[in-house]
Amino acid sequence: MSQPQPLSERPSAAPLAFDQVRVHLGGNEIVRNVSFELEAGQIGCLLGPSGCGKTTILRAIAGLETVSSGRISLGDTLLCDERHHLKTEQRGIGMVFQDLALFPHLNIADNIAFGLKRQARSHRQARVAQLLRMIDLASAGKRFPHELSGGQQQRVALARAIANRPALLLMDEPFSGQDAERREALARDVRELLKLEGTTALVVTHDQLEAFAIADSIGVMNAGEIVQWDVAYTLYHEPADRFVANFVGEGVLLCGSVMTDTELMTELGEIPMNQAAPYPEATPIELLVRPDDVVLDENSDYRGEIVERKFRGSEHLYTVRLPGSTRVLCAAPSHLDRQVGEQIGVRLALDHLVVFKRDAIS
């Protein structure tokens, strides 16, 4: 049996580039002026609610939809613009979709080998054996899809998609059939495999924990546009607008106003700023407050009532109602076990100050 191809001899992963892409379907503009770049070997993610255009972007990359304007390129290859459209089978792209589409009449090894028919039998067998080891199913090659769990089937579908080392892998809601905890674990497993293979990949999901677990860069989408393309840390702590602030992570927008050039006033007191306030004095504002920004402190002058609590193992997530009826979230170590109905002291401990003008609410 020949040995699997060493990493240094593998075909180079290709970078993906979008430049001002628009897509119309049935007379409606579904994708609007989308631009982003994904470096070779990186994993990108399109994150957003249903109907925002995520899957349409994937279908345009795959050649299943045509672009109205702009261009999509993969490495040095132009995939499409308003005048050119490379056929799907010529694009060198692998795809994993929600239904997995494993062949029920083929065993696991033959499913993985399906795209390797043109290769020598010895290389095909070596590659299948390598991938079976990588997805922790080394002894399952002769089993059939229905004999595997959903998570195992997911890994088989991924192995089949990357078996012939595509220049780019597209994944559309690949973990949607799994429960929330399993989705995140699968996303981490898939990331490890893609990184081992050096595969460039673009994933579509509406689940932020999946996106955080798998992606190097994430594009948050709304109404056909990418609102912000960034790493998870920046999306969480420095959202570009109110939509990203609300969609990514848990938190609330705490009402307040600009007091001075370097100070805000909120229901939880004065907030000093180490930079000039973004708006003039007396401007009504909203301050983004994440659960880790609210500290349980019995010496605080600001108190609220616990109206809900969620046990998360290492921490409790408390929903605290302030005297003005505003609710904030507070993440506290789980050994600080407080009950619904209790009054607790809270204070803000903000490392990232994210402020929006209140009259900008649509």
Q: Per residue in 251-263, pLDDT tens?
A: 999 999 999 988 9
Closest CA to 86 of 157, 24, 168: 168
pLDDT tens for each residue of 72-116:
999 999 999 999 999 999 998 998 877 778 899 999 999 999 888
Using CA atoms, how far residue 250 sits from 164, 194, 255, in Å, is 40, 29, 17
Looking at the structure, give the CATH architecture of the domain made up of residues 7-245.
3-Layer(aba) Sandwich (3.40)
Q: What is the pLDDT of residue 261?
A: 87
Listed range (46-50, 175-179, 248-252) with the worst mean pLDDT: 175-179
pLDDT tens for each residue of 256-295:
999 998 899 999 999 988 777 788 999 999 999 999 999 9
d(CA 130, CA 159): 10
Which alpha helices (H) appear in 215-281, and where do they start and end?
A: 232-237, 242-247
Q: What is the mean pLDDT of residues 226-236?
A: 96
Q: Is the pLDDT of residue 215 over 90?
A: yes
Q: Is the pLDDT of residue 12 over 60?
A: no
Q: Is the pLDDT of residue 212 over 70?
A: yes
DSSP label at residue 262: T
Closest CA to 192 of 167, 166, 162: 162
Using CA atoms, how far residue 145 sits from 137, 274, 294, in Å, is 12, 58, 48
Closest CA to 169 of 35, 61, 27: 61
CATH numeric code, 252-360: 2.40.50.140
Q: Is the Cα torsion angle 128, 130, 134, 139 positive or negative in sign?
A: positive
* Percent composition of the chain: helix, strand, coil (DSSP 3-state, to 5): 25, 35, 40
Give the CB-side neighbour count of residue 191, counting CA atoms within 13 A: 18
User: Strand 252-260's sheet: what is its strand order?
Assistant: 269-272, 263-266, 252-260, 284-289, 355-357
Q: What is the pLDDT of residue 232?
A: 96
Same fold for the pair 7-245 and 252-360: no
Domain boundaries, the chain: 7-245, 252-360
Q: Which helix (H) or strand (E) holds 3?
A: none
Using CA atoms, how far residue 10 sits from 14, 62, 166, 339, in Å, is 12, 22, 10, 57
DSSP label at residue 351: S
d(CA 45, CA 194): 13
Do 187 and 216 contact (CB within 8 A), yes or no?
no
Using CA atoms, how far residue 13 sits from 16, 57, 168, 229, in Å, is 10, 20, 7, 21
Q: Rounded to 5 degrees, what angle do the CA atoms 101, 107, 113 make?
A: 75
Q: What is the mean pLDDT of residues 9-25?
A: 83
Q: What is the pLDDT of residue 179?
A: 76
Query: pTM of the full predicted structure?
Result: 0.87
Q: What is the mean pLDDT of residues 135-149?
A: 92
Residue 213: band (very low, low, confident or very high) from pLDDT cuts 50, 70, 90: very high
- Looking up tokens 């004999």, which residue turns up? 147
Q: What is the mean pLDDT of residues 2-29?
A: 73
